[in-house]
Structure 1
Amino acid sequence: MSDEPGPRRRARGEIEELPSGSLRVRVYAGIDPVSKRRRYLTRTIPAGPGAIETAEAVRAELLATAGRHRRPPARAQVDAAAAGAAAARPPAVPPGPQRTDGAAGAERRGRRRGEHTLTTIARLADVSVPTVSKVLNGRSGVAAGTRSRVEALLREHGYRRPELGTPSAIVEVVFYGMQSNLAVAIMHGVEQVAGEHRLAVGFTDARRQLSQGRFWSRDLLARRPTGVIAVHLGFTSEQHALLRASAIPLVVLDPTDELPLHTVPSVTATNWSGGFEAARHLLDLGHRRIAVITGPTERLCARARLDGARAAMEAAGVGLEPRLLRTGAWFSFEDGLSLGQDLLRLNPTPTAVLCGNDLQALGVYEAARRTGRRIPQDLSVVGFDDIPHTRLCGPTMTSVQQPLTDMGAAAARMVLALATNQRLPQTRVELATTLVVRDSTAAPGVR
């Protein structure tokens, strides 16, 4: 008879390439003797030269560690541990009120007394625990009605899963429509901070995904990044609750509307002050027939810029004439062109146009060219954002500068602080705007 041992099941480990290019190593580490759940050891390797070799070495290391972890203690010890845990477990009670400070969005910890477990949610939803897990992890294979029912119960009971492993070494930036100049500046700021922590940066265009019938929030759950920064994004309480339940920290940059329960940390610019300074600059030059083209007023930043401009004009005793106000469907060149042409058909025409952003202002430039107006001799124009094109067009454009790179960096610092259980000193950060005066503004009637 051979003394060789029989075949044994051996964990081989998985190496998965993430959308960011990073590699995630995942090794099965056996069944937890108390919870009876599968345990995994995971580690994420940033993309780059030598990543595959590093991942192979990490897999070998995790396999060795898993081998040690999978040697079970004596049966009596397991039974004693399970009995002790059962005796110490308190009776179920309704969950207490949820914390609303910034750190609450990123706590990574074990289950606290009184909190609902995955089993509880599954029982209430009349589904299996793996089905609830699929919802939490954004996986397919769940009917739409079942997914909605589970998500509703997760929100209703304030479920937050405990930390189950190492998240992906990536900070995900979610845009709703990627205006290239703004996106690049914001991504530079995020990368500066993420790079210091050896994290990669990825991005998602939510508008494109929605147009394809996909759910960006569920895709994020499947990737499980270290944190999420949402930019220019309308955010529903349901989406926020789903990320919260999955223990993924979230920070919103330039929120489009009021955030759910005001509990989501955010970064924005001083839009009201920017609008005020832009209008006051035109007033100081002597303009009184000042037109305003604003962005969509459901956007917080558009409303704030309009309110600031209106306040400056009222303080000067001028007021904003209703006939000189136009509202764009979006912050676009096309809005500036069409609305600018409309304004320039008025009699008398405005002597200056204050725009909601630089793309709209460039549209007004084209409207002026088509109608034979010269800038700034016949018409002064002011933009907002100070994108690189403002220094390339002729004449160079006066614009309100948003510190977009600094805003991206601030959002990254906040989301990484949340990911490491730090309490944020403040959950809303406003960074100052600056009026940059160039050649597109002058006193009215200057020849």
Structure 2
Amino acid sequence: MVRTGSVAGPTLAVVAREAGVSVPTASKVVNGREDVAPETRRRVTEALDRLGYVRRPRFDGPRPPGLVDLVVDSLDSSWSGAVLRGVEEAAHDAGLEVVVTAGLTRPRGGRPERGWLDKLSARGSSGVLLNLAGPTPSQYAWLAQHRIPFVLIDPVLEPPPGVVSVGAADWHGGVTATEHLLSLGHERVAVVAGHRRRMSSNARVAGYRSALAAAGVRHRAAYLRYGGFDEGAARRGTHELMDLPEPPTAVFACSDRMALGVYRALAERGVSVPGDVSVVGFGDLPEARWASPGLTTVRQPLSEMAGVALRLLVRVMGGERPEGTRTELSTSLVVRGSTGGVGRGFVEAGVR
């Protein structure tokens, strides 16, 4: 238990009684533990302030001004590699050191496991970058209580008001991908989306629908499949699309990884790309260039996003407040060999 101040100051037991909680719960709040409900943390914090209880940070020494944390889902993907490159370059320019933590998220929900904030506090990090990890309300409250600045990179869900984040122009990317397919004569354009509740996935699908509407092409509900940003799920969804009475002549996959799943499904059915079906991905990761044929895709500037996020974090650490809480970097279409005109035999006969 941490307690400071004069002898006459309030004890932690007094604070706990004022907040209507147990002494151990009040102690957790004072010591910076994250396993406390947001409402409970708020009551204890208010009681601490009202009674004049002076809290000492859990990290006893001065916070190293040159140390920041980067939290990522994993290190085994080209996505994470691009983010790491962007953070590393920007951190080098800013004279900062970066501690990378990976594998904290639970299989469902994508939220960081409990305990990582305690480690962050123990090493005295001055700021945090969170990539593809959605903090819980309690973790947001913990960061706010300890006045540790943080910035989200491509957040999974809509961040709370005031939270700084960096992403890509996902809606515009969805429009660009669909317009490209429409310009080649495709009207039966399907989309393999990511997660139903993920910001980026919903924005890309919204862009796809907007492009269809602007071209006067009817949106078919059967042409929407969710692949969860997973190659295997995208493969299964593509088989379902090809089993439709009128299968699509083009597929927009909302990630390069899912586009590879589309490739696999089409190859298993003897359907050629782009002779029978055109495919567009999203990301422009290295696998887009390695695919055969090369994948036409929407470039998402991941390294640039990560660099911007680091520079924003430095500004917030210095006491500045960015003019806007959401920064979006532009996307662009990279045309390779996976898109072409509509194959007439495919349109007339369909594919089973």
Provide Cα deviations, 1:242-268, integer angstroms capped at 9, x if missing partner: 1110111011111111212x1110101
- The separation in 1 between residues aligned to 2:43 and 2:73, in whole angstroms, is 27
Which of 320, 331, 337 is residue 439 of structure 1 equivalent to? 337
> What RMSD, in angstroms, separates the aligned Cα atoms of the two structures?
3.4
CA shift for structure 1 position 224: 3.0
- The separation in 2 between residues aligned to 1:166 and 1:269, in whole angstroms, is 36
Which range moved further: 363-372 or 173-182? 173-182
Report the counterpart of residue 135 of structure 1 in structure 2. 31
CA shift for structure 1 position 147: 7.7
Q: Secondary structure at the match of 2:343?
A: coil
Which of 265, 273, 284 is residue 386 of structure 1 equivalent to? 284
**Residues 120 and 429 of structure 1, relative CA distance in 2, 3 Å threshold:** farther
Report the counterpart of residue 68 of structure 1 in structure 2. none
Which range moved further: 212-221 or 263-272? 212-221
Which range moved further: 308-317 or 208-217? 208-217
CA shift for structure 1 position 237: 2.4
Which of 201, 204, 207 is residue 305 of structure 1 equivalent to? 204
Task: Answer whether contact 1:414 1:424 (CA < 8 A) is retained.
Answer: yes
Query: Which amino acid is 2:284 matched to?
Result: D
Query: Which amino acid is 2:116 matched to?
Result: W
Query: Which amino acid is 2:82 matched to?
Result: A
- The separation in 1 between residues aligned to 2:262 and 2:89, in whole angstroms, is 35
- The separation in 2 between residues aligned to 1:153 and 1:339, in whole angstroms, is 48
- The separation in 2 between residues aligned to 1:157 and 1:435, in whole angstroms, is 55
Report the counterpart of residue 273 of structure 1 in structure 2. 172
Task: Answer whether contact 2:12 2:23 (CA < 8 A) is retained.
Answer: no
**What stretches of structure 1 of length at least 5 have no aligned partner?**
1-31, 38-81, 87-115, 139-143
- The separation in 1 between residues aligned to 2:181 and 2:189, in whole angstroms, is 8
Matched, 1:187 2:106: no
Report the counterpart of residue 410 of structure 1 in structure 2. 308
- The separation in 2 between residues aligned to 1:406 and 1:417, in whole angstroms, is 17
CA shift for structure 1 position 197: 3.0
Q: Secondary structure at the match of 1:353?
A: strand
Which of 49, 59, 63 is residue 167 of structure 1 equivalent to? 63
Which of 41, 44, 47 is residue 151 of structure 1 equivalent to? 41
CA shift for structure 1 position 214: 4.2
Task: Answer whether contact 2:62 2:124 (CA < 8 A) is retained.
Answer: no
- The separation in 2 between residues aligned to 1:406 and 1:284, in whole angstroms, is 29
In the TM superposition, what are the counterparts of 1:252-401 in structure 2 within 5 Å?
A: 252-260=152-160, 262-328=161-227, 330-401=228-299
Provide Cα deviations, 1:390-413, integer angstroms capped at 9, x if missing partner: 111100000001110110011101
CA shift for structure 1 position 340: 1.0
Report the counterpart of residue 99 of structure 2 in structure 1. 202
Provide Cα deviations, 1:367-405, integer angstroms capped at 9, x if missing partner: 011000110001100000110011111000000011101
**Residues 147 and 179 of structure 1, relative CA distance in 2, 3 Å threshold:** same
In the TM superposition, what are the counterparts of 1:31-42 in structure 2 within 5 Å?
A: 35=5
Task: Answer whether contact 2:112 2:133 (CA < 8 A) is retained.
Answer: no
Q: Secondary structure at the match of 2:126?
A: strand
- The separation in 1 between residues aligned to 2:71 and 2:240, in whole angstroms, is 35
- TM-score with structure 2 setting the length: 0.83
Provide Cα deviations, 1:166-196, integer angstroms capped at 9, x if missing partner: 3243221112355611111111111112222
Asked which structure has the greater CA Rg, the reply is 1
**Residues 119 and 418 of structure 1, relative CA distance in 2, 3 Å threshold:** farther
Query: Which amino acid is 1:380 matched to?
Result: S
**Residues 292 and 120 of structure 1, relative CA distance in 2, 3 Å threshold:** farther
- The separation in 2 between residues aligned to 1:350 and 1:175, in whole angstroms, is 36
- The separation in 2 between residues aligned to 1:340 and 1:158, in whole angstroms, is 57
Query: Which amino acid is 2:206 matched to?
Result: D
**Residues 429 and 161 of structure 1, relative CA distance in 2, 3 Å threshold:** farther
Q: Secondary structure at the match of 2:216?
A: coil
- The separation in 2 between residues aligned to 1:175 and 1:406, in whole angstroms, is 16
Matched, 1:246 2:146: yes
Provide Cα deviations, 1:279-333, integer angstroms capped at 9, x if missing partner: 00000000011111101120000000000000000111112201111112x2011
- The separation in 1 between residues aligned to 2:37 and 2:206, in whole angstroms, is 41
Provide Cα deviations, 1:40-92, integer angstroms capped at 9, x if missing partner: xxxxxxxxxxxxxxxxxxxxxxxxxxxxxxxxxxxxxxxxxx9xxx9xxxxxx
Q: Secondary structure at the match of 1:239?
A: helix
CA shift for structure 1 position 127: 2.5
- The separation in 1 between residues aligned to 2:209 and 2:46, in whole angstroms, is 42
Report % sequence identity: 35
Q: Secondary structure at the match of 2:31?
A: helix
Query: Which amino acid is 2:119 matched to?
Result: D
Q: Secondary structure at the match of 1:136?
A: coil
Q: How many residues align?
A: 331
**What stretches of structure 2 of length at least 5 have no aligned partner?**
346-352
**Residues 377 and 149 of structure 1, relative CA distance in 2, 3 Å threshold:** closer
Query: Which amino acid is 1:361 matched to?
Result: A
Task: Answer whether contact 2:71 2:130 (CA < 8 A) is retained.
Answer: yes
- The separation in 2 between residues aligned to 1:434 and 1:248, in whole angstroms, is 34
**Residues 315 and 271 of structure 1, relative CA distance in 2, 3 Å threshold:** same
Matched, 1:427 2:325: yes
